[in-house]
Amino acid sequence: MNTDAKESNAESDLYSAPAKTQIGHVHLKVSNLERALSFYRDLLGFKVTTMYGKDAAFLSAGGYHHHIGLNTWQSKNAPAASPFGVGLYHTAILYPTRKDLAVVFERLRKAGYPLSGASDHGVSEAIYLNDPDNNGVELYCDRPKSSWSYNEDGSIVMFTEPLDLGDLLKELGS
């Protein structure tokens, strides 16, 4: 371990983020605002809370000021994000229930929107796709914390297995 890493670990031992800390929103550079709105607003169901002219929009679920910011300030008509460059791996959108995840999956299925994956992680179930600018998006729901498994050292057991999408759709009761 190098000296910088040792110092970093020593500093992290002195402070822990408060237990109720959350990541509040994501703000994405997009190449075409209307196309991005068609995805986040029309397909995923987020509501526009405010527009900043013709170059930016803020969207939310449940009336929050914004969960997602979209802008073309420095990216109008730019090429899609490269899957091999540095940057955001994906935005993760947490749904409150498994049924809510099933509803959004059914919307995607009916729209013929391509998925890049669907996984059971033990602690959560997730659907993966890319937005129109090739930004990764994870739509997921957590399993109850009481059902999580732990290793002897206290670390959480997580894995990646295929998600049974047929079983997920059973949540819709049809």
Phi, psi of 109 (to 5 degrees): -60, -50
pLDDT at 115: 98
Per-residue pLDDT of the chain (174 residues; tens, 9 = 90+): 455 555 555 555 789 999 999 888 999 999 999 999 999 999 999 999 999 999 999 999 999 999 999 999 999 999 998 889 888 899 999 999 999 999 999 999 999 999 999 999 999 999 999 999 999 999 999 999 999 999 999 999 999 999 999 999 999 996
DSSP string, 72-118: -TTTTTPPPPPTTSSS---EEEE-SSHHHHHHHHHHHHHHTPPPSEE
| Residues 104, 127: Cα–Cα separation, whole Å | 10
pLDDT at 87: 87
Rg (CA), the chain: 19
| 24-79 and 88-174, same CATH topology | yes
pLDDT at 4: 54
pLDDT at 11: 58
| Residues 131, 113: Cα–Cα separation, whole Å | 10
Give pTM, 2 decimals: 0.88
Cα–Cα distances (Å) from 39 to 26, 47, 120, 137, 149, in that order, read 15, 11, 24, 11, 35
pLDDT at 5: 52
pLDDT at 51: 97
Class of domain 24-79: alpha beta
The structure tokens 């910088």 sit at 4
Tell me, rounded to whole angstroms, the distance of Cα 56 from its chain centroid.
Answer: 20
Domain layout of the chain by residue ranges? 24-79, 88-174
Strands 124-130 and 117-120: antiparallel
CATH 3.40.50.740 applies to domain 88-174 = no
Give me 67's structure tokens. Answer: 């969960």
pLDDT at 75: 95
Q: Which of 30, 57, 61 is nearest to 47 (CA)?
A: 61
Residues sharing a CB contact under 8 Å with residue 117, sequence separation 6 or more, in sequence order: 126, 127, 128
| Residues 138, 108: Cα–Cα separation, whole Å | 13
